[in-house]
Structures are given as C-alpha cells and as structure tokens.
Amino acid sequence: MEFREHTLPNGLEVVAECDPRAHSMALGFFVKTGARDESTDVAGVSHFLEHMMFKGTARRSADDVNREFDEMGAHYNAFTSEEKTVYYAAILPEFQADALELLADIMRPALREEDFVTEKQVILEEIQMYQDQPPFGADDLCKATHFTGHPLGQSVLGTLESVGQLPVDKMRAYFEKRYSPENIALVAAGKVDFDALVTLATKQCGDWKKQDAARNVIEAPPHHGFQCVKKDGVTQQYVIQLANGPSATAADRFAAKLLATIVGDDSGSRLFWNLVDPGLTEHTSLGHYDYQGNGMFFTYLSCAPEDAAENMQRVLDIYRDVEAKGVTAEELEQAKNKINSRVVLSSERPRGRLFNLGSNWTHRREYRSVKDDLDAVDAVTVEQIAAVLKKYPLSVSTTVTIGPSAEVAAPK
C-alpha cells in the first residue's frame, strides 16, 4: 500500500493509494463545490449540474458517455452534497486510461440547452420523489432552520421553483466559477498505475483554466427551535434533530464519532436499548456529520404519531443523562471494536478507500491510511468524549417533526 501525490501546474491535484494486491481500482474527480457554494437564485444548481456533466462534451453525446462507461463495464455514478460533488468509476485496472480519459472529458461538459431542458424534468421528478418519501423534506427544513443565514442551510436538491426557473446560462456561469482545477482533486485507489495516471491527467486536464473558487467557511452561528409540520397521507411521525458538533478539521471529530456510536448506533447503543429494542420506535439513531467550519449531530426518529412526544422526551432524557454522567469505559471499548471492524470492512474494496481518501483530501489535504484511522479511534478517551459533550451538548438542538399530527408537544 503506497500513497502517491502530484500537483499539475494549473493546481489540479492527483492523489492515490496504490494497492498492487487489489483486483480492481476506483477513480474519481472530487470537486469542492456543493449547495453551500450556491447563491439563492441558483439553489440546486450544483446537483443539477452533476446530472448535466453526463450529458456530453464537445466531442461526445450523452449517449456516447453512457455507452462508453458501460463498454468498460464500469460501475460509475456521481453525487452532490453540501460541499462536494464527486464523479467516480470502479473499474478493472486494464481500463484505467480509458476511464480517466472519459471522466476527464465529461469534466468539461457541453451543457447544451436541449439536454438541459430534458434533464430538468428528471431533476423535478427526483425532487417529487423525495417529497413522497420519509422524511418528506423535514431534513432540508431542519437544516435550513439550524443554519439560518448560513450557506450550510441550503438544500442540495433545491426546490421545484428554484430548479424550475433556473436558466442554462446561470448554470454555465456557476460551472466556470466552481470547476477550476485548483478546486478539484483526481483521486484513485486500488490497483493503480500512478505514473500513467499522472501522465494522462497532465494531457487531459493540463489546459483547464485556473479561476478563483474560494469558499466561505466561517462557522455558522447556532440556532435552535422546534417545529411541527402536518403532512396528510402519511402514517408515521418523523423527527429530525440537529445539534452542533466538531467540524471536519477539528481534532475531536473522532471522539464525536465514538460518542454518536455509543449513544445512537443502529445496534447496542443507548437509543437502541431504550427506544428501538422495546419496539417503541421504528427507528432512532444519532450520527455525526462534519463539514468545513461546522459539524453536526443528527438525530432521526420515526414512530407512531401518538407516541412521538413521549419518544422525543426519552431521547432528550438520554442526552441529558449522558451530558451529566458521561460514557463508561465499557461502552467506549464496545464502540471502538465496532468502528474498527467497520473501517477494515469498508476498506476492503477500492471504492470504499476512494471515498475515504477523497474526503480526507478535500477537507484537510491530508492522507490517512487505514491504520491512521484505527489508531485515532483507539486513542479516544472517556474524558475526550466528556469534553465534546460539554462543548456541544446534544440536548441543545433544532427539531422538526413531520407526520399526520398537527401538533406534537416539544420535550421539556
């Protein structure tokens, strides 16, 4: 296992973890752009653009792009988040050059108006699909409230209105500004030929023009609140809660992950034993998500509407209890065992390593081996977790509940 890195003269960085024992490889372009980089008049453009990137280039049609990926037998896709847009392919090593040539080409898309009009329909369908699915938009609403006035509160999907009115020239302008080579990393993992990767990246991406693509990473000021939204035709009640947590650059983010595992993992956690195991809720969990400048603890709960108020109170009581008394050494040990196993399992496939590598690089320009992550998890102490709870109390949060109930009492 060897880490390699190289920077092109235009600022594009190439990083790879080369594992000659792997059967396959994965590669992708990690672009540091997402919903937080959008002005309100183009809400949803990052995600819409992600779709448009597959719609052809100066020398390829949309059909060509799809066909050529499939000819390689590539497992390829893309996703957009609050702060990054990622285009990737998992392939057999013999296709490294073909896959890079194609991925690099689509990174300079044609953005043709007729494709834009058709694809807009697909995006509007995607937005409607999420409106019909739990948690029925409550996640976006909770984020918008929690990060009021800060770009992290912006929706990745946008709305039917914002996407519906978006003209193609605004997307083109956004692309020009954000897809600067300095804002992009080419990441690879698995059975990678790094020298060949750099040579081809230089040829394919060397003429991409550098632009200023700075981002506002000022920490969001905290907001809290409680909202209940009535939604007809829904059976269960859903609750989303956001609380502040360590950011992607904070040293205590590992303690935060262990805390979330102890308190709210899918199995064996405090929320599991008190709410899921007895069958009081269909689902209750706590997770930690980190961004540049901000982090958040994310609570998700679903249950019968008549039980929602009581269950929210149970969650709050559990949070207050852990804030007051901390976690036990035994709980910490169990959480470490779980996370260590997950780290190893998710690292067995090159595509698992790709996302880890890409996230670390785009957040911190840092390479971390599997062992680095395992060591960081092992080093966390009960005291460090107590310090996280003191700095970021779980009980202070923004809550949105959505479901058939017009009113749900806020926990006290």
Partner 1 sequence: MAEPILSQKFDNGLILLGEPIPTAESAAFTIRVPAGSAFEPTGRGGLSALSTELAQRGSGARNSRQFVTDLDNLGVERDATVSDAHASFSGATLARNLLPALAIYGDVLRKARLPEDQFEAARAVCLQEVSSIEDDPAQKVMLELRRLHLPDPWGRNSQGEKAALESITLDEVRGYVESRFRPNGAIIGVAGRFDWQAVVDQVSRICDGWKTQADDAIKISSSGKRREHLTHESNQTQIGIAYNSVPYKDPDYFQAWGAVGVLSGGMSSRLFTEVREKRGLCYTVYATHQSLRDSGSVLCYAGTSAERAQETLDVTVGELLRLAKGIEPNELKRLKARIKSALVMQQESTSARSAALARDWYYLGRVRTLEETGKLVDALTCDTINNYLAAHPPANFTIVTLGSEPLEAPVGIS
Laid out side by side, the sheet with 283-290 consists of: 225-230, 398-403, 237-245, 295-303, 283-290
6 vs 231, beta carbon nearer partner 1: 231
Token pair listed for 202 = 């230089």
Buried b (16+ CB within 10 A) or exposed e, 226-265: bbbbebeebebbbbbbbbbbbbbebebbbbbbbbbbbbbb
**Residues forming beta bridges with residue 388, ordered by sequence position:** none
Binding residues for partner 1, rule CB under 8 A, total: 66
**Interaction between residue 120 and partner 1 (CB under 8 A):** yes
The residue from 133, 149, 407, 412 that contacts partner 1 (CB under 8 A) is 133
Residue of 281, 286, 294, 289 whose CA lies nearest to 319: 286
Residue 109 is given by DSSP the state B
CA-to-CA distance for 294 and 216, rounded, in angstroms? 12
**Interaction between residue 285 and partner 1 (CB under 8 A):** no
**Interaction between residue 1 and partner 1 (CB under 8 A):** no
Buried b (16+ CB within 10 A) or exposed e, 320-346: eebbeebbeeebbebbbebbeeebeee
251 vs 406, beta carbon nearer partner 1: 406
Token pair listed for 282 = 């269909």
229 vs 304, beta carbon nearer partner 1: 304
Residue of 195, 220, 256 whose CA lies nearest to 384: 256
**Interaction between residue 234 and partner 1 (CB under 8 A):** yes
93 vs 393, beta carbon nearer partner 1: 93
Token pair listed for 75 = 């497992």
12 vs 315, beta carbon nearer partner 1: 315
Selected range binding partner 1 among 147-155, 203-211, 297-305, 320-328, rule: CB under 8 A: 297-305
119 vs 317, beta carbon nearer partner 1: 119
Integer angstrom CA distances of residue 401 from 182, 280, 383, 391, 407: 41, 17, 33, 26, 9
**Interaction between residue 40 and partner 1 (CB under 8 A):** no
Q: Count CB-CB contacts under 10 A for residue 306.
A: 11
Contact letters (x/-) for partner 1, 78-107, by CB under 8 A?
------------xxx---------------
**Interaction between residue 134 and partner 1 (CB under 8 A):** yes
Tell me how far, at minimum, the Cβ of 200 lies from partner 1, in Å: 20
Tell me how far, at minimum, the Cβ of 78 lies from partner 1, in Å: 11
**Interaction between residue 74 and partner 1 (CB under 8 A):** yes
CA-to-CA distance for 12 and 351, rounded, in angstroms? 21
Residue of 263, 327, 353, 342 whose CA lies nearest to 300: 263
**Interaction between residue 235 and partner 1 (CB under 8 A):** yes
Contact letters (x/-) for partner 1, 43-62, by CB under 8 A?
-----------x-------x
The residue from 2, 3, 41, 70 that contacts partner 1 (CB under 8 A) is 70
φ/ψ of 72, rounded to 5, equals -85, -5
Selected range binding partner 1 among 35-43, 222-230, 318-326, 331-339, rule: CB under 8 A: 331-339
The residue from 39, 128, 199, 216 that contacts partner 1 (CB under 8 A) is 128
Q: Which residues in this chain contact partner 1 in the complex, by CB under 8 A?
A: 21-24, 54, 62-63, 66-67, 69-76, 90-92, 118-122, 124-126, 128-129, 131-134, 232-236, 267-268, 272-273, 276-283, 302-304, 333-334, 337-338, 340-342, 344-345, 348-350
